[in-house]
Amino acid sequence: MSEIEIKNLSKKFKENVVLDGINLSINKGDVIAVIGPSGTGKSTLLRCIDRLETPESGTIDLAGLHVDLSARGNHKAIRELHQRTGMVFQSWNLFQRKTALQNVMEGLITVKKLPKAEAEKIAREQLANVGLADRANHYPKHLSGGQQQRVAIARALAMQPELILFDEPTSALDPELVGEVLDTIRKAAQEGYTMLIVSHEMNFVRNVANRVLFLENGHIVEDGTPAEIFGHPKSPRLREFISKIDRLQAPEYSI
């Protein structure tokens, strides 16, 4: 039995169907990459799983917790879902009026109700883990984009979530800062966190993920290991998608 079960997740914006009855089983320790053309609902999938968007239908099961994602008013279950999952956003979304340390401590104090000293200890460890021990007293505006995203990752990891959702964590970064964030995510993956990552960094996906989902038009078109997805794509749409990416990564010209 899988650790996390997502069933029949559907979401539409007005008439536009973004997710169409998605079913997904996630095993503990899975690092799943979600790839696909833009506008196919990759981010929406993550945002529905974390219930930042309310889907039309769909349920999620974590150990001992069943949540109807489409229901309104089930605040208690939704809060427990939020507590047991973590999210890292494309635009970092750090608390602007809090230092890096306070950003990481916030959830530990308010949600986990830890004493301040203990929260600070954990937060400092997490910041050290992402290589930012010396930036504890910096406010977000004093940090580069890559550093802000690493603080955001530390903030998510500090809560020890059963599932971490990464929503295009490097898309808003300058190219030279992408590497440090990917390294941080890779490290977390090696520590055994269960992850769902939307990413356009195909080399990273190939190296870090143990499973890749190709999402198109609200369906999971293909689901397999990176070797299967990139080496032996079955559907024509995936073949086309991968050839386009390969073309991007190929040299501009050859002799």
Partner 1 sequence: MGKLFDVKMVFTNIPQILVYLPVTMELAISAMAASLVLGLLLAIIKEKKMPVLTPIVNLFISIIRGTPVLVQLYVTYFGIPMVQKYIAMQNGTTYNASAVPPILYAFVALAVNQSAYNAETFRSALQSVDRGQIEAATSLGMSGWQILTRITLPESFAVALPNLGNAFISLIKGTSLAFVCAVVDMTAAGKIIGGRTYRYFEVYVSLALIYWVITIVVEQAMKLIEKKMAIPDEVPVVQGSENATEVQRAAAV
What is the binding site for partner 1 (CB under 8 A)?
50, 52, 79-80, 82-83, 85-87, 89, 91-97, 99, 106-107, 110-111, 134-135, 137-139, 141-142, 152, 155, 159
- Closest approach, Cβ 139 to partner 1, in A, equals 5
- Closest approach, Cβ 165 to partner 1, in A, equals 8
- Closest approach, Cβ 233 to partner 1, in A, equals 33
Our CB check for partner 1 shows the closer of 23 and 110 to be 110
Our CB check for partner 1 shows the closer of 49 and 205 to be 49
Our CB check for partner 1 shows the closer of 82 and 206 to be 82
Our CB check for partner 1 shows the closer of 94 and 181 to be 94
Our CB check for partner 1 shows the closer of 98 and 186 to be 98
Q: Which of 50, 66, 68 is nearest to 58 (CA)?
A: 68
- Closest approach, Cβ 243 to partner 1, in A, equals 35
- Closest approach, Cβ 170 to partner 1, in A, equals 16
Tokens describing residue 61:
């099961």
Tokens describing residue 187:
């490290």
